[in-house]
Every structure is written in structure tokens, then in C-alpha cells.
Structure 1
Amino acid sequence: MLFCLAIETVTKKLTSPFNLWYLDDGTIGGDCSKVLADLCTVISEGMRIGLELNPSKCELFPEGGTAGERERIWRAFSLVCPEIIFPSHAELTLLVAPLLRRALEPAIEEKRSKFSVLTSRLNLLFSHQALFLLKNCLGLPKLLYVLRCSPSWKATAALQAFDDVLRRSVAEITNNSGR
């Protein structure tokens, strides 16, 4: 939490119209020139107080414009932050929550796939332990976060597939056929 106090002075110097921070995760949005200037400010002011930006965790998503304009933006930002990532529409997230509909189904599918692997091993435990882990640890809290933060009702097929894995897991743990 002290980190938040340290970077507050840096965040107050930014001029982009969209300037959102959660702990050490910053999101800056607006005109490309302002965002680029703000990125430079974050880098220089951070170094002044002993903090270094991790460029491999920086992402830029230029919305709209022609392919040539996006290429120009990519070059300008790559000069300042060489390892910056340019996510596709399907990869665009904010604090792990998908921002666009194209990103929603792949995010839920990724969680279903990991959840399926983890739940396949639960039958090696006692039922009570397995149910506790299923409820509290094995990705359900993270899935619930994604469901709350994104338009999950638009991904019914992906949700049904996740629900099938969850139902099957509970049935195996409780020795219930699910009928």
C-alpha cells in the first residue's frame, strides 16, 4: 500500500483524460500524443523516485485509425518502451477482465480448460476436502470476478461448457450421477 502513496505524485502529473490506477496497475487513455507523453512521464518520474517501469508488462491498444496510423503509433511507442505489447481484440483485458466481446469467450474457455485439469484430480481426495478446494481455490473466485466485470451473458456456449465441467466434478466428488 505504501507503493500507492509513492506513485500518487506521478499519477497526478499525467494529462490524459482517462487516468485509472489500481495499486501498481495503471491504465491511461486518450489521444495518442497525450498517452505517449504520459508514458514518458511515468518512466522519468518513476526513475526519479527509484521505481522502474516493467516494459514487458505494458500494453497499448490503439482503437480505430488506418493500418498506417496504427503502424506509426506502434513505432512511436516502441521507441519509448521497446517491449510494449500490442494485444489483439481477443486478448484485450483490464485487470484480467475481458474488455471486448471477442475477448470474453477465449477468457472463459481458458478458465474452463485449467479448471477441467484441476478438477480431474479431486477424486483423489476425501469428498469434504475436494468440495472445499473446488469452492474456494480452483479458479471459481477468478471466474466469478470475470463474470462480474464483463458482459458474460453474451458467452452462453462458453459458460455452458464451464458449467458442464463444474457439474461433472461435483457429481464425481459427491458420488451423485447428477440426476
Structure 2
Amino acid sequence: MPATNSTDKISDSIFSELKADEPPGFLFVDHIAIAVCAGDLESQVRMYQQIGFRELHREEIGGSDQVREVLLQIGESPNLIQLVEPMSADSPVQKQIDRNGGRGGLAHVGFRVKNAKAAFDFFKAKNFHIIDAAPRPGSRGTTVFFLHPKSHDDAPFGVLYEIVEDSKKTI
């Protein structure tokens, strides 16, 4: 029997109460991503640890993302802080830092869904500006896609959103 963690219990109770088949199937806020300047990742991790966060996951993500990520958790919450550090000048995170005057800050908000493909199809049918051509592999074994901050002509979000499916329901 595989080991479970606290997010399994929380997720299972949420899954039983929410109707994930109702578009777009949001379950909860998965994470808040914070862009950190190149070379600052370790000092940022230490700062979060000093105030009670613990490191859950660390990964280098290549491809079009080009970031180092560290996921941090406070208590038993399924809502995480994701620190993302650019690995190259071509990283979308580096471009965001550049647009922000060379400072880090909010990169995006991730929403957990039960089915990324169903959520993708929902947003596409509603004419939202989806950055990815299709749901794709994300960190920690997830499936993800991004919604552009100027995602809809009627009312742009103003914030980049990542839609996250984690079929394992673990971190």
C-alpha cells in the first residue's frame, strides 16, 4: 500500500464534496509561485524556512520553462509556495523579472483541477487565451497549462494562472 501524506486526506475530503465534472473543475489553490532573481533561490528558501515553511520538492525544469523550483509547505496545508528561479535569460520567469524592474515577485497562481484536459477544453470553448497548445507535463509528475493574464477580452485576469492536474494527489 503506498504511503499517503496529509494532502491526500485533505484532497480526498475536497474531492468528495466538489463536483469536479462541472467546468472547469477547480478543486483548490495548488500553489502561489514567486519569481526569485537568479542566484537568490537558496537565500529565499532559508527565509521561508525561518518562518516555519518546510521544503517538499526541488526540481530543475528545462524545455520552454527553464527554471529551478522549490515547493514549500506550511503546516499540513495543500496550498504551497513555489519559488521559481530562472536558469537562462530565455526563461519566461527571467522575462517577467525584467518587466518588473529586475525584481522578483508574484509569478502565477496555480489551481488544482481533477482533469486538466477537460479544463483545457472548457477554457478553449470559452475563447480564453491559453498559452500552451495542449496540457503538458509539469513538475512533480503533474499535467499543466497556463492561462494568459489578458486571457479574455471581456475581463482580463491580470494574473497568470497555471491549471494543475495531479493524478497521484500527492506532492
TM-score, length-normalised on structure 1?
0.23
The structure with more radius of gyration: 1
TM-score, length-normalised on structure 2?
0.24
Greater helix percent: which structure? Answer: 1
Greater strand percent: which structure? Answer: 2
Relative contact order higher in (CA < 8 Å, ≥ 6 apart): 2
